[in-house]
Amino acid sequence: MDWDGIGMDWDRLGRDWEGNGIDWPGVGIDWDGLGCTGAHLCPLPGVFICRGREDALVTRNLVPGESVYGEKRISVEDGDSKVEYRAWNPFRSKLAAAILGGIDQIHIQPGAKVLYLGAASGTTVSHVSDIVGLEGLVYAVEFSHRSGRDLINVAKKRTNVIPVIEDARHPHKYRMLIGMVDVIFADVAQPDQTRIVALNAQHFLRRGGHFIISIKANCIDSTAAPEAVFAGEVRRMAAERMRPQEQLTLEPYERDHAVVVGVYRPPPKEK
């Protein structure tokens, strides 16, 4: 297996894979001859690490035999059946970059219902679809018809992806298509992104649900320091009953980007 281009130097990155006190359950796969020594659950449910000559972040392919954007696949025997994983490139996905950067929680997990704003052609959406599995759902909103065509093709093969070709600024236009969700993930790269997430949260995010927002500093203010832009967005979130819990930058994969994870309308603390 040639993992060139997606190989990771884990020691250099934010996440301490070995020393985190977490038991890494192997999935009982023999990767010998494939260049992998095993696929392990990473501390985030539904996300795996293929360990080998070059380690790689992977998700378990919901549609074995199919790549979505030319990514590498690895198929291995698991008893009588086969399990296939797809490489997840952090240079092409901010969510993957956040995971490799050491984010504690993404809340996107098997069985979760996710509203994904800014789905583009479905690159990251496809990995979210792998993670949530057939018990979960991904409502994928994208307003570009060109990207939307690719997204619809992804959804034809992935029954847990519901493409919504609409402007995320107008959630009332797609309210009939979408149920309540556990998580909103937003990567629309718009100056009013926080307001867009807040509007969608009012319609669709359950109380105590979570949001993940990827912020590209120069989309919001190209004249201010990125840290000042991130701090301003965090203040805006707080004003919308969105309580940020974690923030990290996406270096070395993306420059001047941050991801903020938080909880929406947290229930009052019990006395």
Ligand X SMILES: C[S@@+](CC[C@H](N)C(=O)[O-])C[C@H]1O[C@@H](n2cnc3c(N)ncnc32)[C@H](O)[C@@H]1O
Residue nearest to ligand X (CB): 118
- Is residue 30 a contact residue for ligand X (CB under 6 A)? no
Q: Left (φ > 0), alpha (ψ -120 to 50) or beta: where does 65 sit?
A: left
Place of tokens 């001047």: 256
Range in contact with ligand X (rule: CB under 6 A) among 79-87, 99-107, 138-146, 205-213: 138-146
- Is residue 120 a contact residue for ligand X (CB under 6 A)? yes
- Is residue 59 a contact residue for ligand X (CB under 6 A)? no
Strands 257-264 and 161-164: unpaired
Binding mask 150-179 for ligand X (x = CB under 6 A): -----------------xxx----------
Binding mask 79-98 for ligand X (x = CB under 6 A): --------------xx----
How far is the C-alpha of 70 from the C-alpha of 68, rounded, in Å? 6
Report residue 1 CA to chain centroid gap: 25
Report residue 219 CA to chain centroid gap: 20
DSSP 245: E
Tokens describing residue 144: 């570009």
- Is residue 144 a contact residue for ligand X (CB under 6 A)? yes
Q: Which is nearer to ligand X, 36 or 103 (CB)?
A: 103
- Is residue 188 a contact residue for ligand X (CB under 6 A)? yes
How far is the C-alpha of 261 from the C-alpha of 108, rounded, in Å? 11
In the complex, least distance from residue 266 CB atom to ligand X, rounded to whole angstroms: 26
Which of 126, 148, 137 lies closest to 180 in space, CA to CA?
137
| Contacts to ligand X by CB under 6 A | 93-94, 118, 120, 123-124, 141-144, 147, 167-169, 187-190
